[in-house]
């Protein structure tokens, strides 16, 4: 790994690294916050997945999470949102597909099938790397925002024994039924919509209920003044699916809040406490 930067904050260290990834077959960048407790012991970790157009830096600069993470003794790992350094047709032409928009799935349509395996990267490769090189335990939780909220939900629902807890801010909760998801899934997975369902949290809740008896609750905050709420996010579909099959979910509708990091920073400490309690 190549250390890109190291910054002390709240008595801990925020570090950014670049490394060669086998999942995406190229360089990937991630950030890790190590709380002060990590100097003397191993600490649990929260993986944060960011949204469309973002990199690993959006959360670390805007969320205001490190004071609480330092208090709790919680590490935070923030990967990038897509592979970088490729130049496929249409990859850089829009904000909601290609560069910065990996959707945390494993693409099956060429040329994206060669490198756009963000699901494998987030679930398997990055945790192995982090646990090998940093004083971090194997207890992990996952969270994210928008496209990253979608990513956090599918990672946890597909691997209920791998994560202690999962939360999301304004997730794309039913991507098979919204313009963002339809565009991305067509480009990454093809036109057979039956293959899309394994990457949709609402569909997964319905299809994986036999495996969801582990009791992994879903914790979601959604701003009621979010411009994307009705057309793109559809939290009510996920809520209805959970109620139908008995999957625990807490969906908090926050009056007046939008889709921005102002919304995230207002409630991030509650999410960190939620995850730390589960990790403890």
- Residue 66 is predicted with a pLDDT of 98
pLDDT over 50 (residue 213): no
Quickly state the pLDDT bin for 245 (edges 50, 70, 90). confident
How much is the pTM? 0.96
**CA end-to-end distance (rounded Å), the chain:** 29
- The rounded distance, in Å, linking the Cα atoms of 113 and 108 is 5
Q: What is the pLDDT of residue 211?
A: 55
Average pLDDT over residues 55-84: 98
Whether pLDDT at 252 is above 50? yes
Residue-wise pLDDT tens digits, 79-101? 999 999 999 988 999 999 999 99
Lowest mean pLDDT segment, chosen from 30-39, 195-204, 213-222, 268-277:
213-222
Q: How far apart are CA 251 and CA 194, in angstroms?
A: 27
- Residue 221 banded pLDDT, cuts 50, 70, 90: very high
Residue 42 per-residue DSSP state: -
Q: What is the mean pLDDT of residues 235-258?
A: 94
pLDDT (mean) for 72-80: 98
pLDDT of 231 reads 98
Is there a catalytic annotation at residue 6? no
Q: Which of 23, 21, 3 lies closest to 13 in space, CA to CA? A: 3
DSSP assignment letter at 83: -
On the question of pLDDT at 34 being above 60, the answer is yes
pLDDT of 167 reads: 98
Is 150 labeled as catalytic in the residue annotation? no
Catalytic residue from among 50, 226, 271, 275: 226
Between 161 and 147, the higher pLDDT residue: 147
**pLDDT of amino acid 160:** 86
Tell me what the pLDDT averaged over the chain comes to. Answer: 95
- pLDDT of 209 reads 59
Is residue 259 part of the annotated active site? The answer reads yes
Q: Is the pLDDT of residue 23 over 70?
A: yes
Q: Which entry of 146, 150, 165, 275 is annotated as an active-site residue? A: 146
Is pLDDT of 201 > 90?
Answer: yes
Percentage of the chain with pLDDT > 90? 92
Q: What percent of the chain has pLDDT over 70?
A: 97
- Segment 42-60 shows an average pLDDT of 98
Mean pLDDT of 240-268: 95
| Beta bridge mates, 222 | 253
Mean pLDDT of 1-28: 97
Average pLDDT score over residue span 247-259: 96
DSSP 168-217: EES----GGGSHHHHHHHHHHH-S-GGGTGGG-HHHHHHH-GGG-TT---
Q: How far is CA 121 from CA 26, 191, 242, in A?
A: 11, 24, 27
Render pLDDT for 108-149 as a digit per residue (tens, 0 to 9). Answer: 999 999 999 999 999 999 999 999 999 999 999 999 999 999
């Amino acid at each position: 790994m190549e250390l890109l930067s190291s910054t002390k904050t709240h008595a801990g260290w925020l570090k950014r690294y670049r490394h060669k990834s086998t999942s995406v077959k190229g360089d990937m960048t991630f950030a890790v916050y190590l709380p002060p407790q990590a100097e003397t012991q191993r600490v649990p970790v929260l993986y944060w997945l960011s949204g469309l157009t973002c990199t690993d830096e959006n959360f670390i600069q805007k969320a205001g999470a490190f004071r609480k993470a330092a208090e709790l003794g919680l590490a935070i790992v923030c990967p990038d949102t897509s592979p970088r350094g490729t130049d496929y047709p249409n990859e850089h032409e829009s904000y909601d597909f290609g560069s910065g928009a990996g959707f945390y799935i494993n693409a099956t349509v060429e040329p994206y099938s060669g490198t756009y395996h963000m699901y494998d990267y987030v679930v398997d490769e990055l945790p192995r790397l982090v646990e090998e090189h940093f004083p971090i335990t194997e207890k992990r939780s996952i969270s994210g925002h928008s496209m990253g909220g979608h990513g956090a939900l599918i990672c946890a629902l597909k691997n209920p024994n791998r994560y202690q807890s999962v939360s999301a801010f304004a997730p794309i909760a039913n991507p098979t039924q919204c313009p963002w998801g339809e565009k991305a899934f067509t480009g990454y997975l093809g036109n057979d919509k039956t293959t899309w369902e394994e990457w949709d949290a609402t569909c997964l809740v319905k299809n994986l209920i036999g495996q969801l008896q582990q009791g992994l609750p879903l914790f979601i905050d959604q701003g009621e003044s979010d411009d994307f709420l009705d057309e793109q996010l559809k939290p009510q579909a996920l809520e209805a699916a959970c109620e139908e099959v008995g999957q625990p979910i807490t969906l908090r509708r926050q009056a007046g809040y939008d889709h921005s990091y102002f919304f995230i920073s207002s409630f991030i400490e509650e999410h960190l406490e939620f995850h730390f309690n589960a990790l403890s």
